[in-house]
Structure 1
Amino acid sequence: MNKLTVVASSDLPKLPDLNKLKKFNQEFGGAHPDRVIDKAVNVEIQRKNRQDKEYSDKELESIFRAICIDEFNIGFLLDQAVPNHAGAFGVYLSHQLQNQYQCTTPVKKSLAHLASLDYCRVFEIQRLINRFLNKVNVTDLEIKRFTVMSKELDRAQRHYLTTIQALEIGLQPAIKLSIRTQTANIASQQAIQQVGEQVNVKGQ
């Protein structure tokens, strides 16, 4: 038989002080969007009130972190992820895809972002492959790199097509189906027939 163990209240673990947790979060919770934005605003205010208007590296980091919060509109991270010459086009394409596929939710916006990223990767990898094909003499290491680039090109193309298909599915209206199986109809007919036979027997 199991014995019930009584634990004194003094032995129970104490819950953390919520006020202390809130204070700790305000001081060290730098990842929270509200905290990041407040810090960037303070950096800008302090910069305007001093003679030296240049940003320090630490201040630039605070500004960039705040900018990234509105990534789907600004596209800062996307610009950093694609080659420099394709950054503006990548952001433009993401906005066009968001409009075309009516991306109003974070999930759909992120899909448009990924599609734009993979589309830009296709052209960048193809550019590197073309540069390799124009060479006359190649080393074994370059041949291995070419093999890797070919696989990455195929992967980027597949990722792009898969993401576009997901956006296409999200744009389609929901389909309501009303299915009546033949088995259900036969069962109903048999039930009616049995009821009719019972009525006839009683009538006799």
Structure 2
Amino acid sequence: MVIGLGRFGGAVALTLERMGHEVLGADTDPELVHEFAPQLTKVVEADCTNAASLKGLGVEDFEAAVVAIGTDIEASVLTVLALSDLGMTNIWAKATNDKHARILERTGATHVVFPEQRMGERVAHLLNGRLIDFIGFGDEFAIARLKAPEAIVGLPLMTSDCRKKFAVTVVGVKRGSEDFIHAVPDTLVFPDDELVVSGRIADIERFSAMN
């Protein structure tokens, strides 16, 4: 169940539908309801801050709920509270700031996400031109795709020893149009190879800056 079919909620709902899940989408905006009706299992116009309305939608039949309400913090919190009161134990909620997140957690949200903040961080890392892709996690850990630094080109990974010298782990290598290569100790790094690495964000930034 996805409540709030704006940019974030709509993307979540459509992706879940493509993955083969049955998705109930709900929003108070009739235009959004009309837009998503042909694309989701079921779409309803409903005020989900009301527990009775949620019960009428059969919320107990769903494994999880995503509360993707953006600017209306009160509606977001009341919806999470109503879901929690009805026994929903897997509630994902979108937060706009830390205070909003704390309230959501206290009212029953089991997972809180910051989509705008995460995208902002991702764009900032990509803007430096060294990283090709970047996914950060809340504990300062990240997975990134970057051009192989010159310092390790021409060397097998066992020789460059990235984990010990640079505190990053090379997970795989993408070479031109070839399939993704899972990294092993004797994987040789060629010029223009793209590496997929994991590690702490600060360490990945230093590693990418070696280009």
Question: TM class, shorter-chain normalised?
Answer: under 0.3
TM-score (norm 2): 0.24
Mark the structure with the bigger radius of gyration: 1
TM-score (norm 1): 0.24
Structure with more of its chain in strand, by fraction: 2
Structure with more of its chain in helix, by fraction: 1
